[in-house]
Structures are given as C-alpha cells and as structure tokens.
Amino acid sequence: SGYDALMMRFLLLPLLAALSLGSAAAETTRPVLVELFANQNCPACPKAHRTMKQIEAERDDVFILTWTVNYWDYLGEPDPMALPVAKDRQMAYTDRLSLRAPYTPQSFYDGAKECPGTRKRDIRRNITKRIDARAEDAPSLAVVENTVQVMGASAETLEVKLVEYLSGEANETNMVNPVTKVDSLGLWMGGDETFELACETTCAVLLQEQDTGEVIAVQTLN
C-alpha cells in the first residue's frame, strides 16, 4: 500500500544517511602529516609544542611528528634530540616551496603547505586545505605483521620511509612524537609491493615524493 511504501522510505532514510556519512568518513581516514621543526634554544618553540598538543587532542585527522634541528645549538646547550637529518628535511621543504629560509618553530602539512607552528588559525586552515586536495585514487599503505604493503598507482617514483619516534610513557619531552630516527625502505613505482619493517620503538611509514616532496600516504604501526 501507499502507507507501507511511505513507512519503508521513512525507515530507509536514516540508513542511507549513515551509509553516506560512512563513505565521507572513509575518504578522510588518512591523516594529514603535520611536521613541526623546533629546537630547545628557540624561545617560541614551547608555545608551538603546546599548540601541537592542542591540535592533536582536538582532531583525529592529523598525525604530528616533531623534528629537532641543530642549527640553534650555538645559542645554549646542544639539544639532545637534534638530528642532522631534521635540518636537511626542513631545508628540502623550504627549497621546494620557494620559501626565503627555514625557521623555528616552522610546521609543514603533507610537505605541501607551511606556517609558523604557533598560529592555530593557519594550522587548521592548512589541515583543511590538505584534506580538500586529497586525490580519491591516491596510493595507500597497509601494515601487516613486519611488513608494509604499498598499493595503487603512481605517475612517478615515490619513496617509502620508516620514521621512529617517542610516544606515550617513553616520551618524556614536551614535544608531540619527537623523531629519533628515519630510514628509507626503498622506492615504489606503482602496483602492489611489500617492504620489510624493523621498528625498535614506535614507528610510522611515509609514502613521499622523492627529495622530500609531497607526502602521499601515512600509516602508523601502533
């Protein structure tokens, strides 16, 4: 009857809405990689660390890494968390985005956007821009036991990187996920491929354009 049809339609609407929301959520499950570059001798960096903690607490669509650079060590005690690779990574981003110079606290978003790590409005804007710019057919990562599987297609060669960082009780710093080590697992040129993992602490896998280009995918191991 017409009444039965109307009731069926009424009952189906919430289900269809839920399915629609589920699809939208699935499209944004890959977090935006937020990278903060800092040093203990940088006066504005404590504020940036607090800001990143707030961003991490309020959002589930970001993954934050803190890289400690060493070029401010001459201003005081050398930062024990400083990594030479952090400076190289920041310089590569700076050159690729045609910025005047690196600074601290500087933050990058999927290696494609940049702003000071203390400006919440700009930080949120960059996160939104990166989510909006995401390609539906982008390659993806999946961790299975001691391997990471890269799936999809790419018009160019990408690099698979393993980043180790401190988290939870092991992180006694005021930083969000401070990086302790980074290694290249190899290059990926499309198709389904598996790479071996060896993670000693807490790790994440990055799929990134070569020469520290745009970050295409991120997958944590924990």
SS3 percent helix, strand, coil of the chain, rounded to 5, is 30, 30, 35
Q: Is 89 helix (H, G, I), strand (E, B) or coil?
A: helix
Compute the CA torsion angle 40, 46, 48, 54 (nearest 10 deg). 130
| DSSP assignment of 91-145 | HHHHHHTT-S---SSEEEETTTEEEETT-HHHHHHHHHHHHHT--TT--EEEEET
Provide the 10 A C-beta neighbour count for residue 59: 16
Q: What is the pLDDT of residues 101-120, one digit of tens each?
A: 999 999 999 999 999 999 99
Q: What is the pTM of this model?
A: 0.86
Could you tell me the two tokens for 80?
Answer: 């024990």
> Quick check: 152 pLDDT over 70?
yes
**Residues in Cβ contact with 20 at an 8 Å cutoff, skipping those fewer than 6 apart:** none
- Residue 161's closest CA among 191, 188, 137? 188
pLDDT at 1: 57
Q: What mean pLDDT comes out for the span 211-222?
A: 90
pLDDT at 52: 98
Overall residue count recorded for the chain in this entry: 222
Q: In what order do the strands lie in the sheet with 179-188?
A: 179-188, 158-165, 202-209, 215-220
> Quick check: 129 pLDDT over 90?
yes
For the ranges 9-23, 58-72, 105-119, 192-206, the lowest mean pLDDT is seen at 9-23
